[in-house]
Structure 1
Amino acid sequence: MKLQGKMFLWLAVFILAVAIIYGLWSHETAGTTALFMAFGLSVMIGYYLAFTARRADTGAQDREDADVADDAGELGFFSPHSWQPLFLGIGGALAFMGVIFGWWLLYFSVPVILIALWGWVFEYYRGEDQRY
């Protein structure tokens, strides 16, 4: 993760330079703001990866003598049959349509989003799939 953290931090430096030059030459606020926001996002991701690399074990991607097979194996648990992201997407689409067509659609989208989030967070704490 050290390498990825450094890459994002160098990317942030590049985006900052581009944002400053673009802002001075173009005098356009939307693009300049978007570039500064991209700078902020790159800094956040780079800092997180660099901070996590200090606490985590050195992975195969951080060693010069590593092979591709050294990083093989289980990466974690991913839910193979969760319906919650679909309902969360439907609720998000309704919320964004509420911004376009009328705020009254939020009365329908907020409960869908909250129920989908609740279900996604707690889907492995109940029923036959209970893990803990």
Structure 2
Amino acid sequence: MKIQGKMFLWLSLFVLAVAIVYGLWSKEPVGTTALFLTFGLSLMIGFYLAFTARRVDTGAQDNKEADVADDAGELGFFSPHSWQPLALGLGGAFAFAGVAVGWWLVYMSAPLLLIGLFGWVFEYYHGENRTQ
């Protein structure tokens, strides 16, 4: 994680230089503002990664002699049978299409979005606090 922090910090310096040159040369406010915002975002990400790298153990990506297999391991839990991402994806697609087609489609897709979102969040909740 240490190398990623350094990469983002160097990227922020590069984007700052580009923003200054672009702003002085083009005198165009929108692109200059976007470049300065990109500088700020990459600076925040770089400082976060550098700060976090000091607090966690050294990963395989920080070891110059590590193999790819050294970083292997469990990545997390992924539900093998969930239909909720499909409902959420369809609801999101209809909502974004509603911006182009008409706002009525956004309102019609809201229930599908809510069903997908709540279904996905509470998918493995079986009521531990329920009385039988």
TM-score category (smaller protein): 0.7 to 0.9
String of CA shifts for 1:82-102, please: whole Å, max 9, x gaps.
332332222222222232233
- 1:72 equivalenced with 2:59 (yes/no): no
* Equivalent residue, structure 2, for 1:25: 25
Matched residues, number: 127
Q: 1:109 to 1:28 in 2, by over 3 A?
A: farther
Aligned to 2:57: 57
1:52-131 matches, within 5 Å, as 52-126=52-126
RMSD in angstroms over aligned alpha carbons? 2.5
SS state at 1:80 partner: coil
Change (3 A) 1:40 1:86: farther
Give ranges in structure 1 of 5+ residues lacking alignment.
128-132
Which structure 2 residue ranges, 5 or more long, are not aligned?
A: 128-132
Rg bigger for which structure? 2
Change (3 A) 1:31 1:90: farther
Give me the whole-angstrom Cα distance separating, in 1, the residues matched to 2:108 and 2:90: 11
Please state how far the C-alpha of 1:61 moved relative to its aligned partner: 1.0
Shift of 1:10: 1.5
Distance 1:126 1:30, change over 3 A: farther
Do the aligned partners of residues 114 and 53 (structure 1) sit closer, same or farther apart at CA in structure 2, a change above 3 Å counting?
A: farther
Q: Distance in 2 between matches of 1:119 and 1:50?
A: 36
- Structure 1 stretches of at least 4 aligned residues deviating more than 3 Å after TM superposition: none
Go from structure 1 to structure 2 and tell me whether the alpha carbon gap of 1:43 and 1:74 turns closer, same or farther (over 3 Å shift). Answer: same
- The percent of aligned pairs where both chains have the same amino acid is 76
Measure, in 2, the Cα distance between the counterparts of 1:109 and 1:36: 36
Letter in 1 for 2:66: A
